[in-house]
Structure 1
Amino acid sequence: MSAPAPAVRAQALNGHTRISTQALTSLAKAAAAQALGVDGEDVRADWTDDDGLLALSLVTPISVPPLRTVASHPGRVAASGGSIWDRTVSAKAHILATVTELSGARLSRVDIRISGVRISEGGRVH
């Protein structure tokens, strides 16, 4: 007969845990790319101090359906999340939540500047 396994208690360890700026930047770029339907290498991310919190600034394109598709299927804009403005506002909240949840970093805000569009020929626009 075997004895039950001893309970393992998580305990805080002394020391520091830090996430590098490079790791935070990679995470922010991936979150933005996912939210806006573009490649991560097309996203530029910069960090600034905002009274002790991190402020994230992004410069990125956004994916959009071809104009001929929008002209022939006007409902596609609403189905894809709305206008570029609406999708960008929604992306801010998504990016802030994703970066905060995965890194534990406290962000004060996410600023996004759309630098262009990427035409999404097939599938859904993110």
Structure 2
Amino acid sequence: MQLSSQVQQALTYIGSIEVNDNINLWEKGRAFYEKFIPLAGEKEAVFKVEDIIIQGEADQIRLRVYRPSGQDNLPVIVYFHGGWFNSGDLETPHCAGCQICPWPLLLLLITGWLPSIPFLPV
């Protein structure tokens, strides 16, 4: 099977990713995962992006709010980015958030990586 040039470029990029071998396995996996961000493309312009931190009992919850306009009372989409529960941050799915934002709704992005709770109970 012949791969398209885009797939071949992505595979070449992934194969060229290097991470520090002198860090623990979790940190190494996170560093590798975060180097995938450029594959998402250029960041698109958004009317307003706001980062919010909510302090919980054991940890902080980081939120990113994308606003397509200054209009009030927009419908809301809440997107939980899992990040394998050990990697990723608000920048990891940022390009996807920017692509959704032109729709007439408010997007609330929540990252799932909580250092004190690596695996959330279901």
For the criterion TM > 0.5, the same-fold answer is: no
Shorter-chain TM-score tier:
under 0.3
**TM-score, with structure 1 as normaliser:** 0.25
Instruction: Mark the structure with the bigger radius of gyration.
Output: 1
Higher relative contact order (CA 8 A, sep 6+): 1
> What is the TM-score of this pair, normalised by structure 2?
0.25
